[in-house]
Each structure stands twice: as structure tokens, then as C-alpha cells.
Amino acid sequence: MVRKKRSDKPVEGESSRSQPSGGTGQDVATPAATQQQLSGGYQGSGRGYQGVGRGSGQQSQQGGHGGYAGGGRGAPRGSMAQQQYSGQFEYRGRAPQTQSRGGPLPQHHGGGGGSSVGGGRGVGSAAGPFRAPVPELHQAVQAPYQASPVPSQAAMLSGMQMETPAEGESSAPTSEPAANTQVTEQFQQLTVQEEQSGQAIQLLPASSKAIRFPLRPGKGSKGAKCIVKANHFFAELPDRDLHQYDVSITPEITSRGVNRAVMEQLVKLYRESHLGRRLPAYDGRKSLYTAGPLPFASKEFKITLIDEDDRSGAPRREREFKVAIKLAARVDLHHLGMFLQGRQADAPQEALQVLDIVLRELPTARYLPVGRSFYSPRLGQRKSLGEGLESWRGFYQSIRPTQMGLSLNIDMSSTAFIQPMPVIEFVTELLNKDVSSRPTDADHVKIKKALRGIKVEVTHRGNMRRKYRISGLTSQATRELMFPVDEQGTMKSVVEYFRETYGFVIQHTQWPCLQVGNQQRPNYLPMEVCKIVEGQRYSKRLSERQITELLRVTCQRPLDREQNILQTVHQNSYHTDPYAQEFGIKIDQKLASVEARVLPAPWLKYHETGKEKNCLPQVGQWNMMNKKMVDGGTVNNWICINFSRNVQDIQAHTFCAELAQMCCISGMVFSNEPVLPVIGARPDQVERTLKGRYHEVMTKLQPQKKRLDLLIFILPDNNGTLYGDLKRICETELGIVSQCCKTKHVFRISKQYLANVALKINVKVGGRNTVLADAIDRRIPLVSDIPTIIFGADVTHPHPGEDSSPSIAAVVASQDWPQVTKYAGLVCAQAHRQELIQDLYKSWEDPNRGRVSGGMIKELLVSFWRATNLKPKRIIFYRDGVSEGQFYQVLLHELDAIRQACASLEQDYQPTVTFVVVQKRHHTRLFANNHNNRQSVDRSGNILPGTVVDSKICHPTEFDFYLCSHAGIQGTSRPAHYHVLWDENNFSADELQSLTNNLCYTYARCTRSVSIVPPAYYAHLAAFRARFYMEPENSDGGSAAGSAPATRGAPGGRSTRFAAATAAVRPLPPLMENVKQYMFYC
């Protein structure tokens, strides 16, 4: 060990936080079969989101009134630094008289007068025709990006009137064209004939405490009834008298592991004598819980911890702690029982938290806790993931309130750990190169990223195994490192020091040393004297190969997963768990049997000229044989650029000809020949080649007043940043849609693949692939009766470790009522890990035009009007990516933004809103009651598509349901969870469940029903696409395809999260007008 200043403190037991890793995704066309995700993800059965930087850390879903406890969707999303307008908008519109579900009783706000709940179905006739030429729709103007402090919930929605400048926003001139004002004026000319009422549209409450989410409007009855099993285990509510005690440990330690060790020693020493023989449950921080009172109200204990033996022969360090335990409160389980019976609106979070902590005590002692999961090599075989990582098996556990009472949700999980191996071997695997060569600068960056924060033990001191945490790498090679050995500043080389002091000859002197300790007192350790300590979760981003390997490990057929879950429950032996016994908690050993229904698939409409004009999907899938797209797009002018050196130009031409033919067969108008011949190009000259070729083709087309409709690219199978560069240039600079195809599909042309690519091209150029027959016949309840717009919204967050990258928000909205098939999309960048969508509505002061407004909702409403000549009278808003603890925040902020966007178009314009959260990152799985019954499972052994559950395992009182809308491919299907947070349209259970299920059959990119409702899916695709629009910065993190580079508003890739969250966010380059009106993200 070499150190600049003499200090030899080993690292204390820090805990590393777990964060999910994700890969990248591209719109490179894939066969329809592989369009589905493979393990509970978006399209098919279950592989989860790939490439979605959905959030890091483990989610606690216990926050909020009436929200679930336990279970998890990814991470708590956000730093709450945000830009907020502080003005409350006074809603003066007239509302229909029918009362909507959700929300508080009428209340008075300032001068707003009395308000009551708006909603209902009698919203009047369709809007009249427009009366003036329609100007171009312009990009939503981004108000200047500035960080502002987090307002309180009350401040969010109260304060000054809208006419005053919003807090934290600049009054600098913006680039919004004056035409937008004209659009608003013309929009206002369309009359909305609503029922006369003296009531105002309901004001949003200023506090989450005033909100009540909609109650369940009864259970659904549509569909074939069946029984399914769920991985929920009934938990009997204890009748013990629970007490909470505050714990103070001094000196204060941040490590939960050390805190637990202190408390474990205290219980061991004093349980019998001072604790009244109670066995307390401890959360590892500040709270202790007991089943019954302790014999004291307040007491102090002294506890001594002895460090583990590092086998150095030196005396082990003893640390003394003072532990103060003080009675804080009694935990009332009566209110939890009332909540479970539906007689109380708010979920008593404290009681749920206590029960969760009690049931986690024993697994925490046995296994390695990571968020809400537990991992151990004893729970399953380790599998290598490559590059020095391995997968560990484990299980997820969370207590949840449900209709059947308390439920313990158990699921299987796997995650990546660093293999316990010598550091030099880890580096060899990581770089896939021999360590005898000198590392490059890129190698240095990669090693530093992978090893920072990792704990190692030294191996050069005999039996001594002292541990240290890596803080970085030296910039110099080991052979160049010198350090002072005495007060006079005598210098000695690291190589010489190790040879003289330990008799250890360093072999790989060309490699850098590990730096341990802090920056002020760094210590140097050669890589070859260090070994990685076992049991460290790898929380950084995984490579594509590692993700594939991890998915292969986690992918289990439903029967196997069910058996593993039951085996885990048996191994956990809750009936003998001393903590469960102490608190009187009893866990059932059987999976919950749940009533379910299988909703029928909808009829799909295709073009009249095809042999099959209508189609009824079978088990969630169909094909394009004998069918033509219901609305084929036109591609008269196209070119192809080949970036793959393995593909000859003649092969590329043949491939394009086959693709053009398939597009024509499928119902498109598609020219057989490109405007210019196919050319080959080098990936490192993408911008010059692409812009040069575009200039050539436009020189030819412009004199004929023609435009280029499509660009086709052939890419190498591993194309690095090429894909992202092409999309950025095409969509934000040239204003043209494109289709990328991988080399492997050019060499192995399949009809299925070409048909799938044709589906994507058609919607990119403005066509429709299919439409619900009920939409054509105006038979969709609460959609077909009046002009209805369906929104989808999502926020994607940077990958773990990318602390300076912004989050990306995307909103899409249907543009073709009554078909609801085409979706225009908008994207914006916002503060790092900010979950609330900031640009839904914006208003600011313009020096020339006064108060102006914009935002994504307003732009999409105007776009709908331009496309249909109708004003939407109903809004259905599907919001993806929200955890239960954030329901109130998101609803308060985003529903208010929707209201203000509508009011900015016309003073009394307030369409009724239904706001539904879509969740995929939960741990509920549904299994067939009889796996051998071929009538109740699909080919993968999963439950049938259309299976819906709204009883027993759902919320005790609120409007939610699980819907498995897709057929599985491999693995266990993950149903989507839909939770209604606001409903002014008064949907019945059958109406919303059927609408959601039917929409899943309209996804444009494949002939399969998908696992989440398409508008939410499209928003996810658009948000992911926008990551490619950010220009890479020079940072030590580099940038891979699909990664989120640092933005110029933040200090590089190594900034802290706080700095990243409060730094100004650089806006994305705007989408070109002739791109954003189409489904460019498909």
C-alpha cells in the first residue's frame, strides 16, 4: 500500500445503492415475431424495457394517501427541482351537470367562487367548420430554461393570476411566430355547445390531502370468466399492540449495515434484561418497532463493536456507540383494517411500513438486500454475464393492501454483481485484451468507470485482508509514480517501495494504480495486489451483451416461475420466522386464486381492395396475408444510402426493390426505383454524405416541385452512434423520415421482415395500417360519441451513472377522430431525473406581444383541430412511468397544465379529462389455474391476451385493474397495471378496460397486440428517440449508441446529481415541421 500522507484507515462498511441498468433500442426494423419483448416488456411477454433510462434506485411505493405500499416500478424519479408557474388559473368554463368521479368536495379558492366537479357525457354536438385558411403548426416554444426552487404543492396551484409573469421564467423575447396567435383565434371560432350550468369546472385542490382518487365504479363483467393465480400471498393482519421508538446512534453512521450490527448487538445483550424479552424490528436508520411496549419510555445503551479480523495479527479495532431509544408513537392497526375494508380513504402508511420492516428483518440478515429484493449465491446458480460481471438470483418481497386484505407480493429476480476476482483479471475481461500491452486513453476511461466505488481487498500482505474502496485511477503508469516517504520529502517509486517493503515485484508496471481513500489523502495500490470483494452489486449501465445474458437468465416459463416462487415462500418459512411470530403476522403458503375475465379481441378493418377486408385476431396476433393497409401512404421519391461495407451496392439495390414491392403489395403507393442510385458511404462521414446526397436529390426534385418522401439506410449490425446521428440529422435538420435496416436482413431477406418494415414506413409517411372496426362504425363508448383526443405521455431518465444528462419528456396525441390511430409526438428536455413534465404548458411575457403561452398540450390540441377541423371535447390521458408515491404530484401538476393549456385556447374551453397511469415495473404476475389446459394458455404457456383482473389483488377502493393484453413469446408475461387518478368522463370498468384492450391491437409496428396501450408506448419511443438529438460532450464517460451524453448546461459527466438537477437544461433541437406531424418515432 502506498500513500502520500500516512494514514491507513480501512473503509467502513458503506452500502452501495442499487440502480437498474438498461440497454439501448433502435427503430432498426426487426421481424414481427421479435418485435414483441421477451420478458414482460413492452410488446410481448416479458423482457422489460430495454434501453429505457427509466430511473435508478429502488422504488418505495408506500407514499401518498390511498396509494399502495410496497411493490415497485423502478425508481423514485426525480429530483424535484423544477420550473413552476405560480399563478392559479381561475376556471370559468361551464361544466356538464353530471358529477365526475375523483376529487374533493366543492371548495372556495380566493375569488374563484364555488366550484364543483365537472364531467359527464352530455358535452354537446360536434364542433362547426373552420372559417379561415389554416396556418402551419409550429413547434411548441420552449420558454427559457432556468432552474427554480421546488414549490410546495399549495404554491403550485395557488397565488397570482395567470396574467402575471410566472415565477422563475424569463421575459426575454422568444421565437414563437405570430401565426400561433392566429391559430388560437381561429381555434376559438369553433363553437363548443355545452349544457348550461351555473357550475364552474372543478378547481384542482391546492394540496394532495384534498384529493381523492376515483372510487371503483363497480367491477367489470365483459368477457369470458376464468380463474388465474397471482403471486400474492394472503397475510393475516396482526392484533398486537405495535409501538414505534426513535433510535439515535452516536457517533452517527451512514451505513445501514453498521447500524444493524449495533442494534443486533444491543438486542443480543439486553433483550432479556432491559427490553422485556421483546424482539424488535429495526429499519436500519432511525426507527425501531416492537409488538407491545418496552419497559421504559426512554433509555440509553452503550454498545461496543469489534472490527472483523483482517488476519494481520494486529489488535482489532473496537468502536463504542451510544444508542438512545425513545418512545415515539403507537402504530394503530385499526385504521389499516378500516382501509382494507373500504371504510377509510387514506392508506395508513406507517402501519404498512412497520409490517414491511418486520417481514424484511430475517431476509436482511440472511441475504444481501438490494432495494426491495434480496440476493444470494445460495438462491440459485451464478451465471457469467461477461466483462467481469455475473448474475445472482434473488427474490422481491413487498406487503401491499388489496381487496382480499393484506397481501405479500413475492417474485423472482436477478441482477448483476461484480465477480470476486483479482482486479487484473477483471480488467482483462472488461477490455477483452491482454494486459501485457499498454492501455489506451479509452481503456483508462472504461476501467475508471467500471471500478470507481468498488471495494477491494489486498493480497500482498500474507494473511492480512484489509479492505479499501476505489476512488479512481492514477493518470500515470505505475512505473512513473513517485511519492514522499518522510517529512523531508524524500521520493520513492511505487515499484521500488513494494519490492523493498513487501518483497513483491510488480509485473504490469505500464498499467495505472488504483487510487483509494479520498482526493486529499490518496493511497495507491497496484492492480495486481487487489482482489474484488464478493457481494457487490454492479449499479452502472450494462452493455448490450450483458443485458442479453441477464435476460436469458431471468427468462422463465410461467410454470417454472410459479414453482420457484412457491419454493421461495417455502424456504423463507414465514411460519417459523421469529420476527413474524413476535408480531403475529401469518403468511399463507398458497398463491392467491383470483377471478379474471378474458376480453374478446376487436375486429380490425383493412382496405376494401384486399381479399380480407376485416380481421379478427387469434390469440393476440394476425398477419398481413390477403390484406391491404386501410390507408396506404405514398412514397414517390426515395433514395438509399448504404453504410455497410459488407453490402455491395447491387445487393442494396436488390433489397430496396424487394422492400418497394412489399410496400406496394401491402397497399402503399411506392415507386419502384429511387430518385438517385444507391451509393455506399463510410460511417465516419455520415453528416457530409447525408447532407451532400440530400442536396443532390433536392436539386433534381425542386424544379419539378416535388419533395423527398423517404430515406432508406443500410447499417452495419453493430453501428455505434451511426443510427442516432442519422435520426438526429434527418428529423431535426433535413426534415425527412427515414428507415434503417441492418446488414443481416439484407443478406437474409424474409417476407415477414419486409412486411414488418412496410408497416413502419407506412405510418412514417402518414398512412394507417389498420383501424378498429368499432371506430369506423362509431361504436366505441366514450370515444365515438363526441370528438375525443387520446394522449400518451412518458419521461425517460438517463442511465445510472450519467448524472449530468437531462431527462426527456414526450407527449403524443391522436390526430384522427374517430379512428384514433395516428399520433403526433413532441419531445422536450428537462431537469435530470425530473418526473413531472415541465413543458405541458408554458406561459411567459413577450416584450412585443405581452403574455404568450405554449407547450406540448396546446400544440397537440391545435394540431388535432388542424387535422380534423374539430375541437376535442374529451381528453383521455394515459401517463406512463409514474410510481405510486408520485401519483399526487403528477396529477396536481399535469392535470393543471392540461386545464391551463385548454383555457389558453379559449376562455371557457374545458374538455372533460380522464387521467390514467400505466405501470409496467411492478412485480405482480398472473398464472393459469391449470397449466395443462390448452384452452386457458397461449403457446408460451402464459395466460391468454385480454385477461383482465379488477378484484382481490387490486386496490381496496380505487379504480385500477391489471390487463394482460398481449400474447407471450417466451418468459412470463407481465400484465400492465392501469390506475385511474381522475375521471370526469365517468368511465365504467367495462368501458375503460375494453377501450384499453382494443387500443392495444392498433399498435403500428407489428401485427400483434402489445402489452401497454399504444399512446403510452409511442410516447416512450419518442422520448427514447430524442436522446439521439443531444450532441455528445467531451467527458470521461464517452457516449455509446443510445446513451445520454452530458448537456452543456451541466458540468460534464462527473457532476453531482444536485448540480445536474439545478443546472440550466439545454433545449433539444426542434423537430422539423414536416416530420413531427407523422409518426417519425416508429
Sheet containing 679-680, strands listed edge to edge, beginning at the edge strand earlier in sequence: 679-680, 638-642, 710-715, 738-742
- Distance, in Å, from the CA atom of 607 to the CA atom of 599, rounded to the nearest integer, reads 26
Residue 595 backbone zone (phi > 0: left; psi -120 to 50: alpha; other: beta)? beta
Percent of the chain with pLDDT over 90: 63
Mean pLDDT of 1017-1034: 83
pTM for the structure as a whole: 0.80
Of 642, 688, 678, 685, give the one whose Cα is nearest residue 657: 678
Judged by average pLDDT, the poorest of 48-62, 389-403, 620-634, 878-892 is 48-62
- Please provide the size of the chain in residues: 1082
C-alpha cell at 528: 495486481
Of 244, 256, 248, give the one whose Cα is nearest residue 348: 244
Pairing of strands 467-477, 738-742: unpaired
Judged by average pLDDT, the poorest of 194-203, 412-421, 703-712, 867-876 is 194-203
Place of cell 414491392: 661
10 Å CB burial of residue 810 (0-12, 13-18, 19+) is buried
Does pLDDT of 394 surpass 50? yes
Where does the pLDDT of residue 759 fall: very low under 50, low under 70, confident under 90, or very high at 90 and above?
A: very high
Which residues are CB-neighbours of 838 under 8 A, at least 6 positions away? 82, 83, 809, 828, 830, 831
- Distance, in Å, from the CA atom of 541 to the CA atom of 834, rounded to the nearest integer, reads 20
CA angle 67, 789, 853 (to 5 degrees): 85
User: Mind listing the pLDDT tens digit for each residue in 449-487?
Assistant: 899 999 999 988 877 778 899 999 998 999 998 888 888
In this predicted structure, what is the pLDDT of residue 799? 82
C-alpha cell at 595: 377471478
User: Mind listing the pLDDT tens digit for each residue in 586-621?
Assistant: 999 999 999 999 999 999 999 999 999 999 999 999
Does pLDDT of 41 surpass 70? no
- Distance, in Å, from the CA atom of 1058 to the CA atom of 1009, rounded to the nearest integer, reads 41
Where does the pLDDT of residue 893 fall: very low under 50, low under 70, confident under 90, or very high at 90 and above?
A: very high
- Distance, in Å, from the CA atom of 986 to the CA atom of 100, rounded to the nearest integer, reads 6
- Distance, in Å, from the CA atom of 582 to the CA atom of 646, rounded to the nearest integer, reads 68
**Number of helical (H) and strand (E) elements in the chain, helices listed first:** 24, 42
Which residues are CB-neighbours of 1037 under 8 A, at least 6 positions away? 445, 449, 801, 802, 1043, 1045, 1046, 1053, 1054
Cα dihedral: 697, 698, 702, 705 (round 10)? 80
Look over the chain and give the mean of its residue pLDDT values, rounded to a whole number: 81
User: Mind listing the pLDDT tens digit for each residue in 822-864?
Assistant: 999 999 999 998 999 999 999 999 899 888 999 999 999 999 9
Place of cell 418481497: 397
Where does the pLDDT of residue 207 fall: very low under 50, low under 70, confident under 90, or very high at 90 and above?
A: low
Place of cell 401518498: 64
Strands, E assignment, 334-466: 368-370, 373-375, 383-386, 389-402, 405-418, 455-458
Does pLDDT of 567 surpass 80? yes
C-alpha cell at 605: 378493418
CB 30 within 8 A of CB 38: no
- Distance, in Å, from the CA atom of 634 to the CA atom of 663, rounded to the nearest integer, reads 10
Of 895, 900, 850, give the one whose Cα is nearest residue 88: 900
CB 835 within 8 A of CB 882: yes
User: Mind listing the pLDDT tens digit for each residue in 908-947?
Assistant: 999 999 999 999 999 999 999 999 898 899 999 999 999 9
CA angle 621, 949, 894 (to 5 degrees): 90
Place of cell 451465471: 383
Does pLDDT of 224 surpass 50? yes
Does pLDDT of 976 surpass 60? yes
In this predicted structure, what is the pLDDT of residue 211? 79
**Residues 906, 912, 914, 915, CA torsion sign:** positive
Phi, psi at 31, each rounded to 5°:
-60, 155
Judged by average pLDDT, the poorest of 669-673, 695-699, 843-847, 989-993 is 843-847
Neighbours of 133 (CB within 10 A): 7
> Is pLDDT larger for residue 318 or for residue 814?
814
CB 444 within 8 A of CB 473: yes
Which residues are CB-neighbours of 561 under 8 A, at least 6 positions away? 412, 925, 927, 972
- Distance, in Å, from the CA atom of 633 to the CA atom of 273, rounded to the nearest integer, reads 82
CB 883 within 8 A of CB 74: yes
Mean pLDDT of 874-887: 95
Does pLDDT of 2 surpass 60? no
Judged by average pLDDT, the poorest of 118-122, 436-440, 865-869 is 118-122
Partners of 374 in beta bridges: 369, 395
- Distance, in Å, from the CA atom of 836 to the CA atom of 795, rounded to the nearest integer, reads 8
User: Mind listing the pLDDT tens digit for each residue in 742-753?
Assistant: 999 999 999 999
Does pLDDT of 950 surpass 90? yes
User: Mind listing the pLDDT tens digit for each residue in 53-109?
Assistant: 333 333 333 333 433 333 333 333 333 333 333 333 333 333 333 445 554 433 333
* Greatest C-alpha distance within the chain: 96
